[in-house]
Structure 1
Amino acid sequence: MEYSKQVMSLGITLFNLLSTESLGLNRNHLTDIDCAQTLALFGHYCPSCPQPELTLDTLVVNVGDLLQLISNDILKSVEHRVLASRLGPRILVACFFWRDTLGGRTRVYRPIEELLAEDNPPKYRGVTMKEYTSYAVRAKGVNGTFLQSLKL
């Protein structure tokens, strides 16, 4: 429970930094639109790397499709990957922040109005979390990304 609280606190800090430093918005903008409403933790076993000298130690923060959509391509979505460990096998805990898909399935996420201009029109149509999660579960990387299907 304490770990979850600390991860949630870190996530909110990261969303606040993305809001101000990357997007030039109010500090709480991304948390105010519920980007950090739900935290999901997943555990993974990672075997040791046969050539650890070819890997680098790092903390990776992946931006997902939804943040790319609402930032109108200022933030870029990346595919999740795991870096090998020099120290042998390990347990990896992946943490995901998103909008509550059960309670708020009808809210439409679209490019943030404050980021749009005549020379920077919206690049994506709006999408509900219900539509987004339904596609993610069905397609899982098949036929391109969900973002490609939302391009205007």
Structure 2
Amino acid sequence: MLVGNSNDQDFLLKQLKAFDKSKAGVKGIVDAGITKIPPIFVHPPRHPGQLTQTEFIIPVVDLADVAVGMRRHAEVVDGVRRAAESVGLFQVVNHGIPKKILDEILQAMHGFHELPKEVKAEFYSKDLMRKVRFSGNYNLGTSGFAEWRDSFLCEMSSETVDPQELPEVCRDITMVYSQYAQNLGATLFELLSDALGLKPDHLVGLDCAKGHLIVGNYYPPRPEPDLTMGHVKHTDLSFLGILLQDNINALQLLYQNQWIDVPPMPGALVVNIGDFLQLISNNKYISVTHRVLAKKEGARVSVGCFFRHISPGRLYEPIKELTSEDNPPVYCGTTVGDYRTGHYQKGLINGVSGLEYLKL
């Protein structure tokens, strides 16, 4: 965090700008042979009073035989409901994405981040409207310090994506994985709709599944892992997130004021509720607060798929069927674009959910 006198702040801001200008990302710093974390990556203490609760078990939902009318449908809907209402995060198995595809997308994202910096620099951009971009930390400067992460981002939708815009090293598998993730997302939205007592196609009808952002995060090995973070405490700017982890345990969620490890499960995907699903469900579902720790182990990769439809005129507000005189709307309406550039940024800066600024 940028604290201290103005000279300290000026120094750190200059470092942030130099880091951004290099277009080499965090990996570029590691490749330069550093042995200590640069000051711009040094984060405040990790709230030592919030201890990790090892007894808590992350909910797991088995999506086998999940279709309406099948034997396990009601059981699966109930599991999704309980996880979305109480935790905001769960893991799914038998989700329909082959292990081969999961392995290949992780390998492809790792391959992109291992490209020469001159090649990656062609994709480097801080322009949020660019569909395919690379950023050495895409929240750079939001909270006054950088995070130990490089990110490759692809805005995927049938109207906008052009496969030729993607780098060759990850082009084909990204398109394939995107389609699998899209299908899985549609299934999850149907289950979440059903769990709210709505028609199965209600959330899909609100364009919740119309577009998604694929993010390939790369976390280089770090010399002083206790001083920095892979991703600070945050909620997601999305309706729903689907996360593929590698085999290094670094993800944590905040549950009852305690940080809980979300260990990788072979073949499983992590599903988390985002801010916009909490908004339109009128607090029925919880947007989970989570973070990613820095690890000293070798470079690790994760792939996130975040469902959000950035339409300039699409207003999202609590679903009318979920509100009443006894249960009035909690939030005012907003568009995804306005929320991203306004309330969400305020939340990141102040360490809270951006939804706090939308409360009526």
Cα distance change, pair 81–61 in 1 and its aligned pair in 2 (3 A): farther
| Aligned residue type for 2:306 | F
Would the aligned equivalents of 2:277 and 2:285 in 1 still touch at CA under 8 Å? yes
Alignment of 1:1-152 (within 5 A): 1-21=175-195, 23-46=196-219, 48=248, 56-58=263-265, 59-82=269-292, 89-99=299-309, 101=310, 104-135=311-342, 138-139=345-346, 141-143=348-350, 144-152=352-360
| 1:116–1:81 CA distance, 2 compared to 1 (3 A) | same
After TM superposition, give the deviation of residue 135 of structure 1 in Å: 2.0
Taking structure 1 as reference, are residues 83 and 74 closer, same or farther at Cα in structure 2, changes over 3 Å only?
A: farther
Query: 1:79, CA displacement in angstroms?
Result: 2.4
SS of structure 2 residue aligned to 1:125: coil
Are residues 17 and 55 of structure 1, via their aligned partners in 2, closer, same or farther at CA, if it must alter by over 3 Å?
closer
- How far is the alpha carbon of 1:45 from its aligned partner? 2.5
- Shift in Å, 1:73: 0.2
Change (3 A) 1:129 1:69: same
Q: Is the 8 A contact 1:63 1:75 kept in 2?
A: yes
Cα shift at 1:140: 5.6
* Contiguous gaps of at least 5 residues in structure 1: none
* Equivalent position amino acid for 1:7 in 2: A
Q: What TM-score does the superposition give when structure 2 sets the normalisation length?
A: 0.37
What is the identity, as a one-letter code, of the residue corresponding to 1:68?
Answer: Q
Q: Is the 8 A contact 1:20 1:27 kept in 2?
A: yes
| Distance in 2 of aligned mates of 1:137 and 1:146 | 4
Q: How many residues align?
A: 144
Q: Measure, in 2, the Cα distance between the counterparts of 1:109 and 1:66.
A: 8
The 8 Å contact of residues 55 and 83 in structure 1, kept in 2 or not, is answered as no
**Cα contact 1:45–1:92 (8 A) shared by 2:** yes
Query: Shift in Å at residue 3 of structure 1?
Result: 1.1
Please give the alpha-carbon distance, in whole angstroms, between the structure 1 residues aligned to 2:270 and 2:292: 9
Q: State the shift of 1:120 in Å.
A: 0.6
Whole-angstrom CA distance in 2 between matches of 1:88 and 1:130: 36
When the two structures are superposed, what TM-score results if normalisation uses the length of structure 1?
0.82
Alpha-carbon separation, structure 1, partners of 2:335 and 2:329: 16
Residue 49 to residue 2, structure 1, CA distance change in 2 (3 Å): closer
Contact 2:345 / 2:354 at 8 angstroms: preserved in 1? no
Q: Which runs of 5+ in 2 are unaligned?
A: 1-174, 222-247, 251-260
Pair 1:49–1:70, CA change in 2 (3 A): closer
Identity of aligned residues (%): 47
Aligned partners of 1:25 and 1:110: how far apart in 2? 16
Larger Rg: 2
Question: Matched residues in 2 for 1:108 and 1:49: separation?
Answer: 37
CA distance in structure 1 between the partners assigned to 2:191 and 2:185 by the alignment: 10
Query: Residues 137 and 121 (structure 1 numbering): CA distance in 2 closer, same or farther, change over 3 Å?
Result: closer
Superposition RMSD on alpha carbons, in Å?
Answer: 2.6
How far residue 91 of structure 1 moved from its aligned partner, in angstroms, is 1.9
What is the CA distance between 1:60 and its match in structure 2? 2.1
